[in-house]
Structure 1
């Protein structure tokens, strides 16, 4: 298949195209600056704060900005979206530091036995996340909380907090800029957030890496020490539960699959659910998703190498086999992890979920089962339109790379 999967971007909406073409006559770095001084100044002015805490975030922050200017080829719309994002992440970081100074006891709170859903992108992680979140005993970080965790949400105003509407307008903009994105992934201010958004305040995050073609930044992140990132992640959860207690957390990000050892160092009692689906199908679906994400912000030709570890055969197989090795060697203990096959979840969702609860010794009440079934009825597959993508027939030669993985977890071919 080479380094360029067959993905052709759809046309931009007329209004986006007009904005970007008007931007061609601007000196974009001057009109929408993405330099450190300008961004830091804007975040400090917005919040009235200046203390960003420890210095570990500054190097990846600088790498990201250099990569955005040198590699991403952002359009006018892309620069506006990137600047807005970065100021949001910086502002959240400033506010986290402030709240910890005022309430240091936040860091004394336990985060007990959180459940993490991990797996390849497009392997059923999102629908499983949404179903498990129907359990009233579960606390799930919502998108508005992940974007603006401070001040700590209050139980009394949790469903009416004004931050919900602010976040909703920002994240639904993705679907307005690229309408086809709505068929791939629902984004609203009040729905569950992936952990990458929580981690964005460290500037080491797969969420950030997925938004732009920034190979230098992506490469830097693969070599980064992830323990401070997971420590920050835990801190945000402690902030979120400070005035609105959660019995147990449910969390999700495909990228956790690459960092299980670090995750378990920070959360030694974590419950991990690994999803499984035909990798050929996952890679094809992910290609169209990633292409759509970056095309919101750039007209640059798609470069598969930027996303090698999730859409290229050899790298994806290595990612999957690394987890198999960790499980076989006892680095990831059986008590900490169980499995969810995509086909089982589609065919017999409640049997699949009962198996997860049984593995971890959790009670699945009849009322909770009914909530999950009702959720499925309200959200049938394709509710927001059909996610259309093609699977390159030449990818069938990569099937051999996944022989061990598919045999181990009895993952059927879908293409």
Structure 2
């Protein structure tokens, strides 16, 4: 790290470990969009594409046409059942800032055979996975890399995925669209909290999520477990559509949270970009700082809307120190049934991941000072001062 630029991240976003880059044929998040939704996004960014990005647009359009055909077929075969589909049990939302341990917590919760979760394919193809998932995923498994770009978590079409990507595929704006045209800076910031979108857009967002959850329940009965960091700032809207929902929130040391999130946004801005790779994106650090502040202003404002007994708050450090004790507490406090039914699956997952290595980070003192200043309220709120 040059002494002349101590606050700038390196190519890994403060990471000492290299990023995992995707190949030319790896599907992007935008491959889940229909052509109309995708090209509207491209036009709003004035078609500022790299050569590779322009070629990728052609594949996204072709796959998008398949989505339209699949949607038509699904509507014809399941139309009324989809309109009436409801989850058999209140869904459980995993909340927390990016890189706070939401993925680990989600992975542990879905080891319960009574629980349901959206797969990567279902988030890429929310319109038609009821018809296509069984037949398509065996044919396209080779397209995905073995690991996510920012860490050592395995990928796969059958692996659990953030439902934010399903909403993105369904045409809803999301801050994640910033990764498509990262040279243009962040976009759709109002969709993080939904505070400044129109009532119609908020209703559309909630109805889209409700239909997606209903479709998952139609395919597999059980309690749906959802994980999407932006939901941390959307409690009010979620409760309007899922009044009986359960929530579990996880926090993490901000000195680990910040460099890991910068690395996440940097890596996804590279691999999901339609504009080619860049060593740095000047907007990412400020976006990371700002997002956490806005997220927790909304969380602390709306947390009281959650009825008693439907929210558990925990720390990443406690979860890692004793995963089973932490999960037992979640089950007991949220009345999820006996943890005994989940224990064998949790043990198997922990055995598989016992050699998992977290990323290493290198941050200059000036960056640590900025984290302490900008995220001091978060550190105090969750007990990370000192």
Fold shared, TM-score > 0.5 on shorter chain: yes
User: Does the CA-based 8 Å contact 1:143-1:167 persist in structure 2?
Assistant: no
Matched, 1:274 2:249: yes
Matched, 1:66 2:44: yes
**Which of 3, 7, 11 lines up with 1:8 in the alignment?**
11
User: Does the CA-based 8 Å contact 1:204-1:229 persist in structure 2?
Assistant: no
**Which of 132, 135, 151 lines up with 1:162 in the alignment?**
135
* SS at 2:221 equivalent: coil
1:190 equivalent in structure 2: 158
Runs of 4+ with >6 A deviation: 1-4, 10-16
| TM-aligned CA deviation for residue 195 of structure 1 | 0.8
**Which of 334, 339, 342 lines up with 2:313 in the alignment?**
339
Matched, 1:92 2:70: no
CA distance in 2 between counterparts of 1:325 and 1:14 reads 39
* CA pair 281-14 structure 1, distance change in 2 beyond 3 A: closer
| TM-aligned CA deviation for residue 412 of structure 1 | 6.3
User: Does the CA-based 8 Å contact 1:152-1:240 persist in structure 2?
Assistant: no
* CA pair 393-151 structure 1, distance change in 2 beyond 3 A: same
User: Does the CA-based 8 Å contact 2:93-2:225 persist in structure 1?
Assistant: yes
**Which of 263, 266, 286 lines up with 2:238 in the alignment?**
263
* CA pair 400-306 structure 1, distance change in 2 beyond 3 A: closer
* CA pair 139-69 structure 1, distance change in 2 beyond 3 A: same
CA distance in 2 between counterparts of 1:332 and 1:308 reads 30
> TM (normalized to structure 1)?
0.74
User: Does the CA-based 8 Å contact 2:98-2:229 persist in structure 1?
Assistant: yes
Runs of 5+ in structure 2 lacking a partner? 13-17, 26-30
1:205 equivalent in structure 2: 174
Deviations 1:139-171 (A, max 9, x none): 1111122222454537xx97xx23223553343
| TM-aligned CA deviation for residue 411 of structure 1 | 3.7
Q: Give the number of equivalent residue pairs.
A: 358
**Which of 220, 226, 239 lines up with 1:245 in the alignment?**
220
Instruction: Give me the CA root mean square deviation.
Output: 3.6
| TM-aligned CA deviation for residue 94 of structure 1 | 5.8
CA distance in 1 between counterparts of 2:280 and 2:63 reads 27
CA distance in 2 between counterparts of 1:14 and 1:399 reads 34
